[in-house]
Structure 1
Amino acid sequence: MTATLETSVARSTSDTAVALSGVSKVFGHGSSAVAALDGVDLRVKPGEFVCLLGASGCGKSTLLNLVAGLDSPTAGSIELSTSRPAVMFQEPALMPWLTASRNVELALRFAGVGRADRRRQAGELLELVRLGDVAGKRPHELSGGMRQRVALARSLASTLASGDAPGLLLMDEPFAALDAITRDVLQAELLRVWETTNTAIIFVTHDVREAVRLGQRVVLLSSRPGRVVREWSVDGVTDSVAVLDEINTHLREVISGHAS
């Protein structure tokens, strides 16, 4: 069954979902200080799908945490057109004692949505991720891929609940722990859900193929401290092999620099 999402989402007149200007982040003080990000400028449009690539430890997850409001930048500014960005991690982090439906409802409850509307919207979102028939099951009764789809529905519930601006979804390698077949299925599902909801997405991955398949734009961060060093527009590319080769070449250079 294909769901029609009835949740009211007003489209902002702003041409920016999130804008980072000169964002830097330093952990610690004095000689023990570690610079994670340095002067990052990044702008994501409403409904745009942007993938972040870079070596391990280059600050990709730190950047997501700053955008999510889980931490504050040391310097620079972050402007959002939505007050409720949602974060989806590698682990689904579902409440094991709650059903799939109640896990989704929990995000809506925190957003102040009334009980009747919570149930309706949770049902719509589970239908959207093709899990309407397992709404009453608990996480241990679901496969790993199903649990991640419940987590996706919950994240969408959180970011769409504000209703006064386009949604913003921050995804930190959400499919990395899954097998190749399940990952391929969920990538296709994510694209379908993204096209349905027009939610802006910042997606962190180490997989260049995943970035090119999913993103409209691929942004490469340098080794620590992370800076934006290259960007590629990959929306509708006809020669994906050439783009993959070019991105892989620059990513290897970044990783080599990180290791030296």
Structure 2
Amino acid sequence: MTATLERSTPDPRTGPPALDVRGVSKVFGSGTDAVVALDGVDLSVAPGEFVCLLGASGCGKSTLLNLVAGLDRPTSGTVETSAARPAVMFQEAALLPWLDAGRNVELPLRLAGIGRSARRERAHELLALVRLEGQADKRPHELSGGMRQRVALARALAAATGLGEGGTTRHEPGVLLMDEPFGALDAITRDVLQAELLRVWEATGTTVLFVTHDVRESVRLAERVVLLSSRPGRVVREWATASDSDPEELHGDITGELREVISAHAR
């Protein structure tokens, strides 16, 4: 049985959205072979908000994440982000095996042109943030699956940091896109990393869009859960997970709606 995760009440958010998706559709192929993955999706995420995108397998969750990340373009509609290049974290850690943990975290900073001293300092700060102090010299094969995902999270946060004046690191909240990052982990490690993710999110103020098909995970993590229909993906309903709401009641409500979506698609 998973533990309840305590979340602090966020400050009121102002300013333009960190992510703004308007009327987005995505079609793969053409003619009779065309597959409509997304159809008229609207989604706005405030700066510092944690939103879970929930839906059955094949509903277009990852497709939408790829569009927000700039890895693909919508067939129609617009996608705007406050970050020039949102950071992405996938189910697999995808660390470079020939680099140690520290240099894996440094990599996006190096590619951004940040000097060696500044990026090394930032990498050590981020490894400490994900509770991997003293592990910077370890290669991926020397780390457990959960530790590798922590390194991947630190690297994603490094990518979301961006650049400041003169090519130095800018410690401003970024945009983090997460595609079922804990799906391949065992239940206990997943629970631990969910708690760690919430801690890191609260410490950094990062905007998070988290893709999952797990209702319980979405309720535990997100401030807001957005449900997509089965293909083609459309926003069906949203739930705010306020601190005073009953998690079990919310879980039951969302699960019932998800089952209805899946049943409607099967008919």
User: What TM-score results when the alignment is normalised by the length of structure 2?
Assistant: 0.91
2:209 and 2:244 map into 1 onto residues whose CA distance is 19
Map residues 79-158 of structure 1 onto 2, 5 A cutoff.
79-158=80-159
The aligned counterpart of 1:254 is 261
Contact 1:23–1:40 (CA under 8 A) maintained in structure 2 = yes
User: Residue type matched to 1:244 in 2?
Assistant: H
Deviates more, 1:209-218 or 1:249-258: 249-258
Q: CA RMSD in A?
A: 1.4
**Tell me, which stretches of 5 or more residues in structure 1 are unaligned?**
1-11
Shift of 1:165: 6.0
1:239 and 1:70 map into 2 onto residues whose CA distance is 37
User: Residue type matched to 1:128 in 2?
Assistant: L
Deviates more, 1:231-240 or 1:137-146: 231-240
The aligned counterpart of 1:77 is 78
Task: Deviation per CA, 1:211-253: give whole Å up to 9, x if none.
Answer: 0110000000011110001000003143111111100000111
Shift of 1:199: 0.4
User: Residue type matched to 1:36 in 2?
Assistant: A
Deviates more, 1:176-185 or 1:108-117: 108-117
The aligned counterpart of 1:62 is 63
Is 1:201 aligned to residue 202 of structure 2? Answer: no
User: Residue type matched to 1:119 in 2?
Assistant: R
User: Residue type matched to 1:171 in 2?
Assistant: M
Shift of 1:13: 7.0
Task: Deviation per CA, 1:133-190: give whole Å up to 9, x if none.
Answer: 1110000000000000000000000011233963000000000000000000000000
**Tell me, which stretches of 5 or more residues in structure 2 are unaligned?**
1-12, 164-169
Task: Deviation per CA, 1:34-88: give whole Å up to 9, x if none.
Answer: 0000000000000000001111111000000000000000000011111120110
Contact 1:82–1:165 (CA under 8 A) maintained in structure 2 = no
SS in 1 for 2:210: strand
SS in 1 for 2:225: strand
1:46 and 1:74 map into 2 onto residues whose CA distance is 26
1:112 and 1:235 map into 2 onto residues whose CA distance is 41
SS in 2 for 1:96: coil
